[in-house]
Amino acid sequence: MGRSASEATDSGRRPSWYRLALLVGALTLGVGMTAWAQDPDPPDAVADTQPASAPEDDFEAELANDWSDIKLRRTPHDVHELLIDETAEDFRRGETAEVTVTSAPAAVSIRKALRERQGGKYRVATYTSRVIHTVFPFNDLVPSWNVNVPEGTGFVVQIRVGRRAGDFWTDFYYLGRWGKTPEKAVKKVVRDENGAIDIDYLRAEQAFDRIQYRVLLVTTDPGHTPALRRFALAYSNTLDDAALAREHRSKVRPGAAARWTTRLPVPFRSQRHEDPKIAGSICSPTSVSMVMEYRGASQPTAHMAEIIWDEEYKIFGNWPRAVQGAYLFGVPGYLRRFGNWDEVRQQIAAGQPVIASIRVKELDGLRGAPYRRSNGHLLVIVGFDADGHVLVNDPAARTPEQGMAAYYLEDMDKAWLDHGGVGYILTEPEVVAAGQ
């Protein structure tokens, strides 16, 4: 994932003009700066049984300037939870004065009377969720959403966190926009003394115990409305609280090994086969495209890259934009954090691939990969072999023989779980109808 933030979100990072110069310059950078191999020969054995050795002729991009740092980390006592609003009952508990909540399908859309009554170019309705009380205090929050977006419509997403003690709330933080929206629809708060939005997730050094999300639904056509179908909140406590971990961690049972010792038939795609100007930056759209094809919703990789591109941060690697991009073609999804490999095995046993956001800090830290290190990259976990290796589709490879690889679990543990364990989960397709 490209973690390059704009000057507005972190003055300590490189400015946007510098990032763009790098993206189109001589260095072919991965999303978040992958150090590519120069035309490597495919390893002799990238089979499901034994990880291959690293290619010999690596083109080592300069990675000393860590301006794409993923700040999510694992501590010994992390606790993770996932909450998804996706039923009419969930949505009706929010503020509904300007919206209509339907049951079949469950969705939040702009009231017809409001669309017809408002003048001007944009008709806007605000939906604010109920106050969500979390099951434990948290300091990291990774949100995602699925919204139907007919032509001429759009939406803006905000989120705030707070504590019941003292009835404390932060401001509503800005998370992003999609489609047709007013330029100054909301105040763009992305950091304050309580926490910061790092492009697409909230991080803080203090704990909170409640959340509210807010979605501005926008249309330029009174006959159409966007429709919120799903909002997911992956919240975590990474403050290394041993007592909290003892109380809230639970054993995951992935089932019989025969169910997850397999390679899911996810078709392979290489990001290197796309436009050279963007090929080094589109591991996220390429990974999404692979899983979409697996789900029966195949789209050209270049088209998905165009859709997922984040114009505000000038990256292809915005996590919730990737999930929303897949939803435009009927593939629902959400983001979650994984804390151990049994959780991943459970997904594979259910036929669910996991798009993993990894970082390879040490040189050759991911043995057999077609790059020597990376500040941010995405690949698809598709199974495990009998020796416990992690089976992947790695879009950084040129060929299926190289990219349908087996990586050492201990290497993937460091590259993925040590750096937050964020995964995209793209599920079975559903009908995406234009909101009416």
Q: What is the pLDDT of residues 230-277, one digit of tens each?
A: 999 999 999 999 999 999 999 999 999 999 999 999 999 999 999 999
Segment 272-286 shows an average pLDDT of 97
Q: What percent of the chain has pLDDT over 70?
A: 83
Q: What is the pLDDT of residue 46?
A: 36
Quick check: 167 pLDDT over 90? Answer: yes
Q: What is the pLDDT of residue 71?
A: 84
With cut-offs at 50, 70 and 90, classify the pLDDT of residue 69.
Answer: low
| Mean residue pLDDT across the chain | 87
Rounded Cα gap, residues 134 and 61, in angstroms: 42
Quick check: 52 pLDDT over 80? Answer: no
Q: What is the pLDDT of residue 120?
A: 83
With cut-offs at 50, 70 and 90, classify the pLDDT of residue 433.
Answer: low
With cut-offs at 50, 70 and 90, classify the pLDDT of residue 118.
Answer: confident
Segment 97-109 shows an average pLDDT of 97
Segment 282-287 shows an average pLDDT of 98
Quick check: 8 pLDDT over 90? Answer: no
Q: What is the pLDDT of residue 117?
A: 83
Q: What is the pLDDT of residue 119?
A: 77
Q: What is the pLDDT of residue 341?
A: 99
Q: What is the pLDDT of residue 344?
A: 99
Q: What is the pLDDT of residue 38?
A: 33
Domains along the chain? 16-75+254-426 (3.90.70.10), 79-239 (2.60.120.260)
Quick check: 379 pLDDT over 60? Answer: yes
Quick check: 42 pLDDT over 70? Answer: no
Quick check: 113 pLDDT over 60? Answer: yes
